[in-house]
Amino acid sequence: MALSRRQVLLGAGVAVPASAILLARAARRDPALAPSKEAVVREATTVLAAESSVDGAGVRLRRALGGRALGMLDPFLLLDEIKSDDPNDYAAGFPDHPHRGFETVTYMRDGAMEHKDSVGNRGRLGPGSAQWMTAGHGIVHSEMPKQERGVLWGFQLWVNLPAKDKMQRPRYQDIAATQIPEVAGERTRVRVVAGDALGVTGPVNGIATGPVFVDVALERRGIFELPLEADHASFVYVTDGAVRLGSRRREVREGELAVLSEGDAFEASCDADHGRFLLFAGRRIGEPVARRGPFVMNTDAELRQAFEDYRAGRLTSG
Ligand code: FE
The alpha carbon of 71 and the centre of ligand 1 are apart by a number of angstroms equal to 18
The alpha carbon of 181 and the centre of ligand 1 are apart by a number of angstroms equal to 26
The alpha carbon of 155 and the centre of ligand 1 are apart by a number of angstroms equal to 12
Whole-model pTM: value is 0.88
Stretch(es) of the chain classified as CATH 2.60.120.10: 16-45+180-283, 51-178
pLDDT range class, residue 54, cuts 50, 70, 90: very high
The alpha carbon of 259 and the centre of ligand 1 are apart by a number of angstroms equal to 25
Q: Provide the β-strand partners of residue 196.
A: 201
The alpha carbon of 99 and the centre of ligand 1 are apart by a number of angstroms equal to 7
CATH number 1.20.140.10 given to 51-178: no
The alpha carbon of 226 and the centre of ligand 1 are apart by a number of angstroms equal to 31
Mean pLDDT throughout 151-167?
97
Spatial separation of the C-alpha atoms in residues 219 and 254, rounded to whole Å = 15
The pLDDT tens digits for 162-190 are 999 999 999 999 999 999 999 999 999 99
Check if the beta carbon of residue 73 is closer than 8 Å to that of residue 235. yes
Spatial separation of the C-alpha atoms in residues 55 and 92, rounded to whole Å = 10
Spatial separation of the C-alpha atoms in residues 263 and 231, rounded to whole Å = 8
Single out the residue of 241, 219, 226 nearest to residue 279, CA to CA: 226
C-beta atoms surrounding 118 within 10 Å: 15
The alpha carbon of 79 and the centre of ligand 1 are apart by a number of angstroms equal to 13
Output the CA torsion 193→38→285→288 (10° steps): 140
Which CATH superfamily hosts domain 16-45+180-283? Jelly Rolls (2.60.120.10)
Looking at residue 316, the DSSP 8-state letter turns out to be G
Least confident of 20-29, 116-125, 303-312: 20-29
The pLDDT tens digits for 73-82 are 999 999 999 9
pLDDT surpasses 70 at 228: yes
Check if the beta carbon of residue 235 is closer than 8 Å to that of residue 33. no
Spatial separation of the C-alpha atoms in residues 81 and 60, rounded to whole Å = 9
The alpha carbon of 97 and the centre of ligand 1 are apart by a number of angstroms equal to 6
